[in-house]
Amino acid sequence: MAAARASTRPPRVGDSPSVRRALIGVVLVVGALFILAPLVVIFVQAFSQGFGVFAATLAHPDTRHAILLTVLTAALAVPVNTAFGIAAAWAITKFDFRGKRFLLVVIEVPFSVSPIVAGVAYLFVYGLQGLFGPALEAADVKILFALPGIVLASMFVTAPFVARELIPLMQAQGRDLEEAATSLGASGWRTFWSVTLPNIRWALLYGVVLCNARVMGEFGAVSVVSGNIRGQTNTLPLHIELLYHDYQTVGAFAAASVLTVLAVFTIVAKALLERQGAGRARRPSLAGPAAKPAGGKA
């Protein structure tokens, strides 16, 4: 077989056209069947009874409230998790201390714990019969079945996203740049703003985008702590489920389409960011570690 194609050698080892076509084909078919088709169905169903019904569903106060609540939750949870992620990544990559590995594991816990478990745990911590329940009630602070609970649960689920993006990059960059800035007289803040942040910004934005996507879509944890009160503590994912169980198929799909549009925005933003990060030949190597000298000619 190789002899038959001797004249048209593959450009690289392992890059034979048949393998390439087969792999691309498999990915395309699977992608279309399992990822693209369901997305299309959402929009087809949402508009199945015309644009009027679609618009009316979205204009319903409960739906509008759910959208607002979701956006508000993201607006609160994402900045907090961003700050947390930067702090965690900084601590882990720039300092040596006991329990560093343990901290790394702790940060990743939300990835492995089912969100619903997180929700139930919050119930036991902040609920009426929970750890802080009586104290909270005495102080008249309402956490569960209210916005604070929803934000807290969302934060728990999405805590690792920013840190996970930053840690490998910051590890690769090492401490040299910060040490250089400090030896030149820069303060800690100055070093962070002028040296560290510019070198991690694409990874940071990428982490923020992912975190945002996950906060907006979070269902399990939020469904436990929010109490599902229509028009009050129903986020968009919860609202979709509610509509679906009420046999309001068009409404469910219309709401789902909004969530999908938000997600697609996020993905487009992410793609643009990646392009920015990779394609900036004039301001290079921002996505990767500090350029190592390639042994050049003086």
Chain positions contacting other proteins, by CB under 8 A? 176-177, 179-187, 190, 194-195, 198-199, 282-286, 290-298
Nearer to other proteins, 52 or 295 (CB): 295
State the nearest-atom distance from the C-beta of 269 to other proteins, in Å.
21
**Number of Cβ atoms within 10 Å of the Cβ of 197:** 12
Nearer to other proteins, 3 or 294 (CB): 294
Nearer to other proteins, 101 or 282 (CB): 282
Nearer to other proteins, 94 or 230 (CB): 94
State the nearest-atom distance from the C-beta of 181 to other proteins, in Å.
7
CA atoms within 13 A on the CB side of 138: 5
Report the C-alpha gap between 35 and 39 in whole angstroms: 7
Nearer to other proteins, 13 or 291 (CB): 291
State the nearest-atom distance from the C-beta of 201 to other proteins, in Å.
9
Nearer to other proteins, 14 or 296 (CB): 296
- CA 237 → CA 66, 196, 262, distances in Å? 8, 37, 12
State the nearest-atom distance from the C-beta of 91 to other proteins, in Å.
18
State the nearest-atom distance from the C-beta of 284 to other proteins, in Å.
4
State the nearest-atom distance from the C-beta of 228 to other proteins, in Å.
47
User: For residues 202 and 272, is the Cβ–Cβ distance under 8 A?
Assistant: no
